[in-house]
Structure 1
């Protein structure tokens, strides 16, 4: 993945971004224009999209709702200006607050095939803004970067034939790792596997690792601590604090390791969404720096996550069969 960002000089904010996505061009165009895909990525990291409409033809209308972590829904409307599949898409977005028009933007997305991958270049120009919108516009660039992080994850997930497998991305020059996996189980059951000590102990970590939960209080401000024994008998301890526990939708916690490798905190966000036939889990890990993120990735983070989620899937299957939740 490659990412570049530059801000154009004008009275109102404008930016250009470019990334390469691990998905073919036809799929990438669909990801931008089909609501079932837009629901999965069109919002910053901690937001979800409860509603999406996109009439992909010139003169068509769009509506995309953002739901913030505190439950507030921001409704965005707009008009589709140009649709030239699979190479070019132009539309506007309008944000209103209490019925008052606050911001209007024009978004142009162009798509270029690079083998089996696709480069997407996005230009976002604010064409109207009330002075009261200055604070939100100050975060425009980071908001778009977070949204495109999620686009990178969804593109990788949508491009795989194994929708039950784990998709994982490490966006270049961004101190984050994003993962997504689908589980064939109700959301409440998947949630319980993260928040009940007897369930968490049964799946957390790679195969052959045994967990002892010494502390676990999944409430806002509560703490957890896990002692994990590997197949060679070595014990590592992990701990953290719960920042946001909103059952069964969102779980945010810090993560640290005791001992000589400690002192580097990661902020983990797990978002649980109901999808047809099951639950989609999106996990976002934020690191203190690119170097910290790259070190975690190089140490086997993906290997461990794949095995842990396989163990979680097996646990969920057994709990479903036994109807013990």
Structure 2
């Protein structure tokens, strides 16, 4: 098994960043003092819902195919470069010691394994911060030098660590509730009706690319709205509202959850770590015969880890709700055109 060269333990660094690539060595060493607790840093390095948001140099994004962080487990993903090129990657974990250490082999996920290298990542707690060190060892000095020259590995590592810190700051500073505001060119009574009648909800609720079907609709405090959503690949997901308060045409309060076909609240395999229930408050304000809709959401009885995942997803949630409200806007236009 790969073991990096022994170096003197660093307690205080002159700079919070350190990149080491000595002549004649097969290693690239990256060290960073991160202003976040070790448990959190380890989480965002080992959970797909986190690492997809920051992994890779500037301009790169990721599609994760599988990620099982355990000895013998595999993380397969595609990195999408800013120039439109895709780069397949495969990581096989050799050692996972939470929240102290990761050891893995990283390849380009091809039969030739042209870019194989070994990695050790360590996480050291230091007064509420984390001293993170990543040791990358290549098969030869020449291979390491080529990766630095052709792929900009040193600068790439620095940018990746910058993105990690930015993402951690975002999680730590995240507001406690999700908020989205939208103005509709329709009277308040009509917008409220579109939210509270099954024939209307079926036309617009859910992501743009999903088809929904309503199984149960019982609009009263304690009643449920139980529905299915069919994804483009044919998979079926189930969800439900549980209504808490209904004040027509001013306000709706309800919880949302993933569920099974029988309506029982269940986690989804797409988000195994996520609050089971989200409390939503939707208000409808009339202004000049238009409606200002405000939706606020926050977790209910969720663990700290589940809340962190929820807060980290605000950008994607904003995009998702924006698409859903676009469909509501189109539906409202259709209704008004029919009436007129």
TM-score (norm 1): 0.50
What is the match of residue 125 of structure 2? 274
CA distance in 1, matches of 2:57, 2:38: 23
What is the match of residue 39 of structure 2? 188
CA pair 207-260 structure 1, distance change in 2 beyond 3 A: farther
CA distance in 2, matches of 1:252, 1:266: 11
What is the match of residue 324 of structure 1? 308
CA distance in 2, matches of 1:173, 1:208: 31
Tell me if 1:286 matches 2:137. yes
Tell me if 1:312 matches 2:155. no
What is the match of residue 75 of structure 2? 224
Which residue, out of 246, 270, 285, partners 2:97? Answer: 246
Counterpart secondary structure, 2:71 = coil
CA distance in 1, matches of 2:109, 2:127: 40
1:220 is displaced (CA, Å) by 0.5
Which residue, out of 65, 69, 72, partners 1:214? Answer: 65
1:76-91 to structure 2, matched below 5 A, reads none
Counterpart secondary structure, 1:174 = coil
Gaps of 5+ in 1: 1-43, 47-145
CA pair 260-301 structure 1, distance change in 2 beyond 3 A: farther
1:295 is displaced (CA, Å) by 1.1
Whether the 8 Å CA contact 1:45–1:284 is kept in 2: the answer is no
CA distance in 2, matches of 1:295, 1:280: 28
What is the match of residue 179 of structure 1? 30
Counterpart secondary structure, 1:314 = helix
TM-score (norm 2): 0.48
Which residue, out of 86, 97, 107, partners 1:235? Answer: 86
1:238 is displaced (CA, Å) by 0.6
1:263 is displaced (CA, Å) by 2.5
What is the match of residue 279 of structure 2? none
CA distance in 2, matches of 1:306, 1:177: 12
Counterpart secondary structure, 2:51 = helix
Deviations 1:58-96 (A, max 9, x none): xxxxxxxxxxxxxxxxxxxxxxxxxxxxxxxxxxxxxxx
Aligned length: 175
Counterpart secondary structure, 1:324 = helix
1:48-67 to structure 2, matched below 5 A, reads none
CA distance in 2, matches of 1:169, 1:232: 28
What is the match of residue 23 of structure 1? none
1:261 is displaced (CA, Å) by 8.1
Structure with greater strand share of residues: 1
Whether the 8 Å CA contact 1:240–1:254 is kept in 2: the answer is yes
Which residue, out of 54, 75, 83, partners 1:203? Answer: 54
CA distance in 1, matches of 2:28, 2:155: 13
Counterpart secondary structure, 1:203 = coil
1:305 is displaced (CA, Å) by 0.8
1:207 is displaced (CA, Å) by 1.6
CA distance in 1, matches of 2:32, 2:159: 12
1:270 is displaced (CA, Å) by 0.2
Rg (Cα) greater in structure:
2
1:277 is displaced (CA, Å) by 3.2
1:230 is displaced (CA, Å) by 1.2
